Every structure is written in structure tokens, then in C-alpha cells.
Amino acid sequence: MAAPTAYSLIATDLDGTLLRADDTLSDRSLAALARVAAAGARHLVVTGRPAPRVRPLLDDLGSSGLAVCGQGAQVYDARTDRLLWSVTLDRELAETALGKIEAEVGQVYAAVDQDGVDGLTLIEPGYLMPHPTLPAVRVGRRDDLWSAPISKVLLRHPDLSDDELASTARSVVGSLATVTMSGPGTVELQPCGITKATGLALAADHLGVGPERTIAFGDMPNDIPMFDWAAHGVAMANAHPELQAVADEVTRSNEDDGVAVVLEGLFPNAGF
């Protein structure tokens, strides 16, 4: 593990990690991120949310830099409001993957995040948004989900748990897509081979920072690749057991300023 003062890139997930349940940032978290900036280190958001759903939060953070969005499928530049890099999920492959999953577990309800800085989140009948504060457009039928390029598909099952749905999806999807669980209530299909580590590595290279100088924070299994890439991985107290099992450290929950607690220890006097 790198020495605490060696971290020059702070990679944080949003939901369940940096954000509280009401999608807000605490004053303590904002102050801790100010310490990071005063020390000359960078904060990088690495989230499953697509770029259009991240932009308002970056404004709240006062960030005009990069963000990794869409589970690593997008590297977004807030300063220019454009995607520096993006990869889409083939819509025919997505339909095939959905068919394979439904052949095993019965009907699932689906949504998609469209690609691009103005992409919409489309939800089919029966799909309930896990984050009701996030905007979405309900379509009349599943075929309407494929009207434009997409970065990922979001799945929910009326009876199965997230773990059960994700496990079954992985067993039948194969190389059609990468299955992630960023829940609660969120199992996703994204382009094959794309993870948060993909986008994090690209963004870090753009910033001139390597994994040995990166510390990452998260709460769900979709953060495991990010932990594998970074020098040090910090799981929240509320994190999924799979992530806690591979973390280098467990901090307090997102509701109890867990990210801030660690950053205050790493940057005790920076600019203050």
C-alpha cells in the first residue's frame, strides 16, 4: 500500500458512497474535498450514472474536471460538456441478452441509458426507478428502448433479489455483455469488458496519474474492478459484503461521512 501522502487521485463512487440517501453532499464531505484540492490532489467521480445525470452533481461539487460515468463506459469533461471517450452497448446484443435472462427467470423490467451528454434514461412499463429523484422517460413498449445508441441496460425482477438476478444473468449472458450490480435495485448490462476500472484508467492517464497514486471509495460489487486497479480501496460500512471482502479498509457509512473521515486523515492540514 502506498504511503498516505502519496495519493494524488481520489476516486469516489457517488450513490451509497459520497452521496447521502437524499442525493446530497454533507458540509463535512465538501470540506474534506476542499482539503484534497488544497493539497494539489484531484477528485474524480467514478459512477454508474450516465453523464447527463452527473452534470448537476459536478456543479454542486464545483468541479469542472473529468468524471467517469456509465459504469466506465464514458469519460466526461465537465469543462467542455463533452465526452472524451465513450463506448456503446450493441442494441441487438442487449436484446439477445435480455431474452436469455428472461428464458431463465421469467419477465424482467428494463430501462436504458442513452449515450451522449444529452442522452435520456428510458424506462419500459413496469420498471421502477431505484432513484426516484433521477429523471426518466417512460416509453410504451420495450422496442422503444432501442431508438438510439445506449451505454447500458438496467434490469429489475419482481421477485428475485439483486444478487440472484445478477448471478443468473452472468451465467447466461456470457460475452454478450458485462453484468454488474450497482444496487440496491440495480442490475445492469454494459458493453462486454467495460468496468469502472476501464474509465478510471483512461481518466487517470489523461490526468497523468497511475494506479499507485490512486485511492478509491465504493459500496457495491461494481466497484471491485476499481479497487483492483487502485493502490488502496476503501469500502463503506454500508457496502455490499463482496466489496468489503476485497477492500483494504472499511470506513463509516455514507450517511456518517465515511469518505470525509478517511480524507481528513490523509490530508489533515492541507490549506487549513
Give residue 63's pLDDT.
78
Cell of 4: 498516505
Domains of the chain: 9-86+194-266 (3.40.50.1000), 91-190 (3.30.1240.10)
Nearest Cα to Cα of residue 234 among 261, 205, 269, 194 = 261
Give residue 6's pLDDT.
75
d(CA 144, CA 127) in angstroms, rounded, equals 14
Whose grid coordinates read 431463465? 104
Q: Is 175 exposed, middle or buried (0-12, 13-18, 19+ CB in 10 A)?
A: exposed
pTM reported for the whole predicted model: 0.93
Give residue 3's pLDDT.
40
pLDDT of 183-241, one tens digit each? 788 899 999 999 999 999 999 999 999 999 999 999 999 999 999 999 999 999 999 99
Nearest Cα to Cα of residue 155 among 198, 126, 194 = 126
Find the largest Cα–Cα distance for the chain: 58
Collect the ranges in the chain with pLDDT lower than 50: 1-4, 272
Give residue 270's pLDDT.
59
User: Do the Cβ atoms of 221 and 242 come closer than 8 Å?
Assistant: yes
Give residue 159's pLDDT.
95
User: Do the Cβ atoms of 231 and 2 come closer than 8 Å?
Assistant: yes
Cell of 22: 437524499
d(CA 101, CA 268) in angstroms, rounded, equals 49
Nearest Cα to Cα of residue 229 among 253, 256, 202 = 202
Residues 6+ positions from 157 with CB-CB distance below 8 Å = 105, 106, 108, 109, 164, 165
DSSP labels for 141-182?
SGGGGGSS-EEEEEEE-SSS-HHHHHHHHHHHHGGG-EEEE-
CB atoms within 10 A of CB 246: 13
